[in-house]
Amino acid sequence: MSIFDQDMVDELNLILKFPTDSLLQGLKIHHDATQSIVNAASRLYAKGMITQSDGGYLTDLGIDVADHARHIQSALCSRKGNH
C-alpha cells in the first residue's frame, strides 16, 4: 500500500468530522448526504470504528484513528518553516 485511495480519503475526512469536545457527542449521516459519505460511514462501521452504519459514536478504535488522523492533518497543514 503506497497511497491513500479515494475510499480511505473519504473515511478519513468523515472520521475528522466527529466532535472532539466530548465522547458523548456523535454524528448522524443525513438522508441528503453524498453517496461517498454514506459509503464511508458504512465502511467505518464495518471496520468497527463507529457504532452505527449512519454515524453514531466513535468506538475506542475510532477514537484512536481520529486522533492519529488529526495529527496527520495538523502536520500536513502546517506552514513551511514550522517544523
**Domain range list for the chain:** 6-77
Predicted TM-score (pTM) of the model is 0.86
pLDDT tens for each residue of the chain, 83 residues long: 679 999 999 999 999 999 888 778 899 999 899 999 999 999 999 999 999 999 999 999 999 999 999 999 999 997 665 55
Residue 3: burial class (beta carbons within 10 Å; 0-12, 13-18, 19+):
exposed
Query: What per-residue confidence (pLDDT) applies to 81?
Result: 56
